[in-house]
Structure formats: C-alpha cells, structure tokens
Amino acid sequence: MESGGNTLKWDIFLAPYSQAVDELKIKLKGMRKQFDYESRHSPIEFVTGRVKPITSIVDKAKRREIPIPKIEEEVQDIAGLRVVCPFVDDIYEVVEMIRARQDFEIAEEKDYIEKNKESGYRSYHVIIRYPVETIHGERKILAEIQIRTLAMNFWAINEHSLNYKYSGQIPEDVTTRLRNAAEAAFRLDEEMSKIRQEIREAQEYFRRTKE
C-alpha cells in the first residue's frame, strides 16, 4: 500500500472502514432518536463520524514506527465516531449503552476523563471490533468511539486546530493557556452538572411549548 501512487489499493483497504462509519453513525444516531420517540432526555447531543484521511494514517504509522501490514491492528481510529453529550454523567450512560450492545465487541476502553492527558485533553474512548459484511464475507475492523461533553469537544477541536497550525509544536505560552482552558472547561462541566435538573426542566418546558 503506497501513500501516494496507488490510491486504488487505499480505496479497497478503506472501503470497510467507510461502511463501518456509515453504519455506526446510523446506529448511534438511532439511539438518540429512540430517546426522542419516548420523549425522554437524550444523553446524546449529536453524533459525527469520519474515516481518517490517508495522509493522517501514514503520518501516524511513521510516527509510531508501525509497519504497513500492522496498520489495521495498531491504528485504532481509522474509523472514528464521536458522541457528544450535554453532561459528564451522560458520557457514562452512553458507555453503558455501548457495553450492552450485541452488534460489536469492545476491544479496549480508555478513560481520559478520570485521568486527563498531559495536553489537558478529556474524553472517554471505546475501541470496538465491528463486523462488516463485505462481498467477500464478514470482516472485523477496529473503530474508535470518542465520547465527550460539549465543553470537552469545544476544547478538543480548538486544540486540534492549534496543533495542526503549529505542526504539533505549540509554543509554551499557548500550551499553558490551553491547559488552563481545559481546567475551565472541566469546571464548566461541573457547574452545569450541579444545575442540570433546572436546565432539563427548562428544556422540557421549551419542548412542550413548541408542540
């Protein structure tokens, strides 16, 4: 598999990942819809998904010294899903729902909420082994589901842009500001959790007045 020359082989390699992302988006959005149908508060605000761009796969493999044949096992986020929740408690509710599902297996869980990353990053990652039905039979691929609050998401997408801008070498003063911002986001989540019931009642009132 070449990074530049042979795009057709990459297309074939990535096809089951693309199918998995499409299917998982439908399934995870389906969970949200079921809460709507039952007029219950959904722990899911929104769901997004993407297949990792070829250049990012190749860069990551090079950085980690992963040989090409090992990419499938060692680059776990080629298929990536993101579930964004209003409150921290919702994250654990979503994790429980994911654990209870019968249509895939959990390969690994990484809790970066209890223990955030050095950068300040917070999220809960569930790596799953997902069966994709292909014209050649079933193939199990790895997919990463990142579950985080709106505040964690806001921080992560901004930090990600800065990392891209500075090619991973963010200046020290910006790094410090980002760590402070991560703590502020964490405190915002804590405060919002404390007034959660009030917020829910307000949303419920708003929903009823729209009907």
Smallest separation, CB 180 to ligand 0O2 (Å): 15
3-class SS of residue 157: helix
Which is closer to ligand 0O2, CB of 8 or CB of 164?
Answer: 164
Distance of closest approach, residue 84 Cβ to ligand 0O2, in angstroms? 7
Q: In a 3-state reduction of DSSP, which class is residue 47? A: strand
- Among residues 88 and 142, whose Cβ is nearest to ligand 0O2? 142
Q: How many CB atoms lie within 10 A of CB 122?
A: 25
CB of 44 to ligand 0O2, least distance (A): 9
Q: Is the dihedral of CA 117, 123, 124, 129 positive or negative?
A: negative
Closest contact distance (angstroms) between CB of 42 and ligand 0O2 is 11
CA dist 74 and 95 (Å) reads 22
Q: How far is the CB of 140 from ligand 0O2 (least distance, A)?
A: 19
Mind telling me the catalytic residues? 144
* Comparison of 94 and 125: residue with beta carbon closer to ligand 0O2: 125
* Residue with Cβ nearer ligand 0O2 (7 or 56): 56
CB atoms within 10 A of CB 71: 17
Sign of the Cα torsion 122, 124, 127, 130 reads negative
Q: Which two tokens mark 128?
A: 């799953």
Residue numbers at the binding site for ligand 0O2 (CB under 6 A): 25, 45-46, 48-49, 52, 56, 60, 76-77, 110, 117, 119, 121, 125, 156, 159-160
Report d(CA 47, CA 116) in Å as an integer: 22
DSSP 6-45: -HHHHHHHHHHHHHHHHHHHHHHHHHHHHHHHTT---S-S
Residue 27 or 110 having the CB closest to ligand 0O2: 110
